[in-house]
Amino acid sequence: MIPSELENYLQSLIPEREPVLLEMEQYAKEHNVPIMELIGMEALLQFIRLIQPKAILEIGTAIGYSSIRMAKAVQDVSVVTIERDEERYQRALYYIDKANMSDQIEVILGDALEVSIEQTFDVIFIDAAKGQYTKFFEKYEKLLGKNGVIISDNVLFKGLVAVNNTDNKRIKSLVKKIQGYNEWLMQNSLYDTTILPIGDGIAISKQKG
């Protein structure tokens, strides 16, 4: 949510990624797979480095790009990630193996609202079906360890949450759901939440107390 000139400048400062990540970025572009924008990704990784989690849960694997980046950001961190699309699941397994990260990343095939997980996580990263964010949050917050953090991507949805001036009924409905999620987050008395206009909008929700 920053001016294009500034976005281009910041992207020019980002260090070159390793070949497997560049390959994934190209694949995502060619096949319209949603992965985090570079500036948003760099911000997420810095949060991860500051938190120094031992275990991360990701809701929405896609092709495994964020999982790999997060797993590489902190030494000895384990990542559990959920993906419901079979093709993307298989592609994620391929790239995770190619990046030599199979020992750190476990990919679960299934609907995140139906999957059962019994583990505690320091960070939960939500980046899946935008209209289901509140349900994802409520389902998985019980797995959050003490002082845990929940990070939600795409909460500004290309700026439409501020104006919602689209004529597309599906998009308009989705924007309303994201607006509702943002308001619910900010009013949730159990968390301190900040929404940052980075990438497509990142919400950082930290447990209180």
What's the total number of domains in the chain?
1
Residue 64: the pLDDT is 98
Query: What confidence tens digit (pLDDT) does each residue in 137-176 have?
Result: 999 999 999 999 999 999 999 888 888 777 888 889 999 9
Q: Regarding beta strands 202-207 and 191-196, do their DSSP bridges make them parallel or antiparallel, or are they unpaired?
A: antiparallel
Which domain covers residue 157, as residue numbers? 4-207
Q: Is 102 labeled as ligand-binding?
A: no
Q: Is 76 labeled as ligand-binding?
A: no
Residue 168: the pLDDT is 86
Order of all β-strands in the sheet with 55-59: 105-109, 78-83, 55-59, 121-126, 144-153, 202-207, 191-196
Q: Is 154 labeled as ligand-binding?
A: yes
Residue 134: the pLDDT is 97
Q: What is the CATH number of the domain that holds 78?
A: 3.40.50.150
Residue 160: the pLDDT is 87
Residue 1: the pLDDT is 65
Q: Is 12 labeled as ligand-binding?
A: no
Q: Which residues of the chain have pLDDT under 50?
A: none
Q: Is 83 labeled as ligand-binding?
A: yes
